[in-house]
Amino acid sequence: MNIAIASDHGGFELKGQLIEYYAKKGIILQDLGTHSTESCDYPLIARKMTNAVLNKEADLGILICGTGIGISIAANRVKGIRAALLYNAEVACLAKQHNNANIVVFGGRTQKFEDVVSYLDAFLNAEFEGGRHLRRIGELDE
Ligand code: RB5
């Protein structure tokens, strides 16, 4: 699975931690920026990621801003994107099982690295259930 990651300055530190953690496990996260702690605008970062996901340059995106809220709002304005802000392991599973999220979102200033990793693991180990959920996610883009 090809996974991309991007953040604004509010998520820069967490992005670096996740890239390092997964690299040690042999998983390379494609870094779409930002590349410093200099202030930048989360809608533009979200757009980079939504383009990558819609163009199939990434199977899954990870987006991070300070709270995860602004960048979720931005990503979910794009047709075809289902961005889910993950805040516990159960929600992480359901974001895959019911919503087949193609972007997962975190808050760099509001969530701990260890928790984020556990939510990501839960998401990655879950399977989309299809059926009525397939119909519902189809309705999102009608
Ligand atoms: C940036 O200061 C901050 O507003 C942004 O990272 C995010 O939390 C917005 O929702």
Q: What pLDDT digit, counting tens, does each position of 103-123 carry?
A: 999 999 999 999 999 999 999
Across the range 47-74, mean pLDDT stands at 98
For a ligand 1 pocket test, name from 71, 106, 111 the mutation site with the most ligand atoms within 8 angstroms of its C-beta: 71
Cα(10) to centroid(ligand 1), Å: 6
Query: What pLDDT is recorded for position 32?
Result: 98
Looking at ligand 1, which atom is closest to the CA of residue 69? 10
Q: How confident is the model at residue 41 (pLDDT cuts 50, 70, 90)?
A: very high
Question: Which structural domains are found in the chain, ordered by start?
Answer: 3-140 (3.40.1400.10)
CA distance 113 to 123: 15
Look at residue 83 and give its three-state secondary structure.
Answer: strand
The CA 94 to ligand 1 mean position distance, Å, reads 25
* pLDDT at 10 (0 to 100): 98
Phi, psi for 135 (deg, rounded to 5): -60, -45
9 is catalytic: no
Between the alpha carbon of residue 14 and those of residues 31, 125, 137, 142, the distances in Å are 12, 21, 29, 35
Among candidate residues 9, 35, 98, 133, the one labeled active-site is 98
At 14 the pLDDT is 98
